[in-house]
Amino acid sequence: MSLKTSARLALALAVIMGGMTQAHDATPATGSSAASDDPYLWLEDIHGDRSMDWVKAQNAITQKQFADTPEFTHTRDRILEVLDSEAKIPYVTRMGDHLYNFWQDKVHPRGIWRRTTLDQYRKTDPQWEVLLDIDALNKAEGKKWVFKGGDCLKPAYTKCLVNLSAGGGDAVEVREFDIPSKSFVKDGFFVPIAKTQVSWIDDNHVYIGTDFGPGSMTKSSYPRIAKVWKRGTPLSSATTVYEGKDADLAVSAYHDRTPGFERDFITVAHDFFHSDMYQLKDGKLIHVDVPEDVANADPHREWLLVQLRDAWTTGSTTYPSGALIAIKYDDFMAGKRQFTTLFTPDQHTALSSFMWTRHHLILNVMDDVKSRLDVLTPKADGTWANEAMPGAPQFSTVDVVDTDPDNTDEYWLTVTGFLTPSSLERGVLGKEQATTIKQSPPFFDASKYVVSQHFVASRDGTQVPYFEIDPKGIKLDGKNRTLLYGYGGFEVALQPYYSGSVGRSWLDRGGVYVVANIRGGGEYGPRWHQAALQANRLRAYEDFAAVAQDLVKRGVTSPAHLGAEGGSNGGLLMGNMLTLYPQLFGAIACEVPLLDMKRYTHLSAGASWIAEYGDPDDPKQWAFIKTFSPYQNVKAGESYPPVLFFTTTSDDRVGPVQARKMAAKMEAMGYKNVWFYENTEGGHGAGADNKQAAYMHALTYSFLWDRLQ
């Protein structure tokens, strides 16, 4: 996905994957999913005294069992050393002549927003100009703000719209910030806390989608209305440019300031996988006529790139699912349909992302879940040249993390692998080969371990890959504590990555770490994702179970020594491992999870995921959804493995109530090995700062190691 597409759809695409914010109305919803026979609806009162008293009591029990030990303290401190390390890479984004970075460490737990020059950045110890100190801001205001980034007006990049979250959730307060004076602009643009989408048009105008009052947000809790807001006027006077439907996921607007190609666009995300784009020209909406159910459209300069989710027949040609095709934007809007195919997948490859430089297009391709980069260049005769970039090390991931598409062919890429500390490289296509600018230090001794990739047949015969990190010379005696991690949803691919926390907290203790690339994810593009949608959801769980069984069959581990971990959609995966395959695991860590699939559309941002799971309020769809709804399927008298449910009070995406209710229901059934912990901050992530994140990771690893005897 290009930078521009990422900016436009960031709101929609982050709905399931990132941090959580404040939850929906504390009052249980009415309607067919009110589930009046559910005795734990009272736990849906997010901040209610009764609910929070229950949370505090549960936290105390879990802390006493797993956190009040020297081993826990050692693990937590070792993880915190990684997160607070001053030697870690300060990743940067170019804006004009400066490189911008947000940094958290021991001295700056909430972080500082800062910038430097390229010449300084090349140095071992760059000189940084601090723009905004979040800890100092919190002290001055008596708040607990979490920095959520900002949008700066190009090309000068002196005016920025900064997002601040009260606790780490998706809802943010937006303030205008002046870079030269390093201060918030008095009487500048300001939006109270809400799930807001805002972007610059020019010095005095912005596009804004926010909570304008009753009816202005979608059922999914995101902006339904896009408006133009003029500086110096009240927000209530902003002019509407588009109104979506209540059932839409989100509506957003943006102004493309690319010199010579200035255009305005409205994007209407109907759900995660269906969207419409309109060009706003002379006050009129002109549909960018790409079928909403087939593809994503991405205009850039003179080009329109279309990434296909399904096969598309247009202009007498059928382009396959997973392909990337290109056409001149003006030609397409004039009715022409003869595209050039830039990428076609096969059984082993999928397009992970793409990103423009000034004259080139960089494709990030996954080949059996491992990375390669291709550089495409449009030529005067209408064809595109294709040249491969140098390959990455085996079992690694290469990502282009930043480019300068308006001005130069500069690119920044990161290289990482399970045993390879991340590096940051910079190059200029056609001028400078990529060279390493920054290198993360090793946080554990990788020479002790070996990475391998395996494939196993799932229940329907599909070959499912997984990565395995073992101690060298491992004995295949079934006695190795093994942690199996998975996600399997929303076309998200789990590629190789370096984790000092995993290395220190699991591998260095003698454990085996495994990542399963199950269906529902994006490891093999749209087909891999669509294979486990809605009525086919059980395939994802069959895949994960097949990997677990293969680990036992190969002698790597045994059920008593095999743990599983997953969060968010991966938490739903864990809930189904608990209820459908309890015999396969010795312990399960279920983090910020979906679990109550009967009511999920009435909780937090749940309505936004109907395209993934189905609508439980439709009896025909509930017939298949109930087969993978752990809250409904958990039963008394079963042999469930020990389980830890982790969530956060400030999660306004999935919300904390599903984990709460599942833990309470299992305890009431008499299960003694059910544990629960709820952090008050952190949103949909592990914590609002490094200390909180280290605590939560240590709690998870301590629980799993303790239970996998």
> Which residues participate in catalysis according to the annotation?
568, 684
* Distance, first Cα to last Cα, the chain: 44
**Cβ of 108: how many Cβ atoms within 10 Å?**
19
Give the start-end residues of each E strand in 289-348. Answer: 295-300, 303-308, 312-314, 317-319, 324-328, 340-343
Residue 701 tokens, joined: 């690893």
Instruction: Give the relative orientation of helices 569-580 and 538-553 as an angle to the nearest 10 degrees.
Output: 60
Q: Which helix (H) or strand (E) holds 12?
A: helix 3-13
Beta strands in 170-222 (DSSP E): 172-178, 183-184, 190-194, 197-202, 205-209
Cα–Cα distance measured from residue 58 to residue 563, given in angstroms and rounded to the nearest whole number: 22
> Residue 169 and residue 194: Cα distance in Å, rounded?
10
Residues in the chain: 709
Residue type, 400: V
- Helix ranges (H only) for 126-237 are 134-141
Residues contacting residue 420 through CB under 8 Å, at least 6 positions apart: 393, 396, 446, 498
Beta strand 183-184 with 432-439 is unpaired
Collapse the DSSP code of 137 into the 3-class scheme (helix H, G, I; strand E, B; otherwise coil) and give the result: helix
Beta-carbon contacts of 307 under 8 Å, excluding residues fewer than 6 positions away, are: 1, 295, 296, 298, 323, 324, 351, 354
Element (H, E) at 701: helix 690-707
Q: What span, in angstroms and rounded, lies between the C-alpha atoms of 529 and 510?
A: 34
Q: Are 370 and 385 in contact (CB under 8 A)?
A: no
Name the region of 477 (left: φ>0; alpha: ψ -120 to 50; beta: rest): alpha
**Can you tell me the distance from the alpha carbon of 598 to that of 612, in angstroms, rounded to the nearest whole number?**
14
Report phi then psi at 699, rounded to 5.
-60, -45
Residue 448 to residues 340, 479, 482, 505, Cα–Cα distance (Å): 48, 18, 16, 15
10 Å CB burial of residue 120 (0-12, 13-18, 19+) is middle
Measured CA to CA, the distance from residue 580 to residue 628 in angstroms comes to 8
Strands 250-256 and 263-271: antiparallel
Paired tokens of 708: 């996998």
Instruction: Write the CB contacts of 573 (distance below 8 Å, at least 6 apart in sequence).
Output: 486, 487, 488, 489, 518, 540, 541, 544, 566
